Amino acid sequence: MGETALLIFSFCMEAAIGIMLFTTLGKLLYKDKQFRIAALTAAILSVIGVSASLAHLGRPLAALNSLSNFGSSWLSREVLFAGVFMGITVLHALALYFKQDNQSLPNILRWTGSVVGLITIFSMAKLYSTASVPVWHGINTFVDLYATTIAVGALIFLVSSLKELQDSNKKIFGFIILAAVIFQAAVAVPYAVGLGSNGMAAQASAEILSEMSVAIGLKWLLILGGAGFLIWPVTQKISAKEAKPATNMIYAAGAALILGEIIGRYVFYAAMVSTGVGLT
């Protein structure tokens, strides 16, 4: 349950934070849009993520105890910022649905949520990169978490806002998603290749990754293929007759990319070989 809870927590929080980021960007690009479905999706995903985090800790009160080391523990910071972000996303969704005459409050919540979300991802990356798990050390962990946040967040924002953006230029989202996953791969592949030249724990992780080569290959095929496949329907001018096939292409590409990122997050935790010191 531990690794499953961590996978659900990290993936859902990355997705929710990404959605919030692109909702903020969307409001800058399309001032007349509301993106209520995207906001609600972010709120739901953040609640699921924090709930999974509590399940991982074993007892809800354990989360409160973990906050006592905020000044020295990245785990405490991750728990706090994730909880604050969840609260902001819920308030943001409620404000959009029930305070439609008040545009300043959602705007403040969007920008605040985006900043807190980015700090949350940094806290997560810092927690993993400073843990006693060699495969998590280095810049790759930061790139992986932020790239997933951007790619999955932009994708879910795009899919949840297709009706609102039907007659709008959506090219920017397709190119951002493609750039994020290409950069993710460009950093991850050489890092994995060089992992075996480190210590014994890192070599053990490299062996695990080697045994999971099929899963890793499928991950990159789905991620890069999904992002590439997404480019055509979001960059072309679609006629009314082509609207449904184009929408189906977006859904198919999105499903492939999300499945690939989930496989990637599973591999991330499956390669955990510790040198003996836990997360702090």
- Give 192's contacts (C-beta < 8 A, 6+ positions apart): 206, 209, 216
Instruction: Determine the pLDDT at residue 253.
Output: 94
Q: Hey, what CATH class is 2-270 in?
A: mainly alpha
Instruction: Please give the chain's pLDDT, 280 residues, in tens.
Output: 457 888 999 999 999 999 999 999 999 999 889 899 999 999 999 999 999 888 766 555 555 565 566 666 788 889 899 999 999 999 999 999 987 777 789 999 999 999 999 999 999 999 988 877 777 888 999 999 999 999 999 999 999 998 888 878 889 999 999 999 999 999 988 887 776 666 565 666 677 777 888 999 999 999 999 999 999 888 876 655 667 888 889 999 999 999 999 999 998 888 776 554 445 5
Instruction: Determine the pLDDT at residue 191.
Output: 82
How many CA atoms lie less than 13 Å away from 25 in the CB half-sphere?
16
Report CA torsion sign: 218, 220, 226, 229.
negative
pTM of the model: 0.89
Query: Which one, of 125, 122, 127, 109, lies nearest residue 43 by Cα?
Result: 109
Distance (Å, rounded) from C-alpha 215 to C-alpha 208?
11
Instruction: Determine the pLDDT at residue 276.
Output: 47
Query: Where do the domains of the chain lie?
Result: 2-270
Instruction: Determine the pLDDT at residue 277.
Output: 44
- The neighbour count for residue 31, using CB atoms within 10 Å, is 8
CA-to-CA separations, 108 to 29, 119, 248, 262, in angstroms, rounded: 17, 17, 34, 31
Instruction: Determine the pLDDT at residue 225.
Output: 95
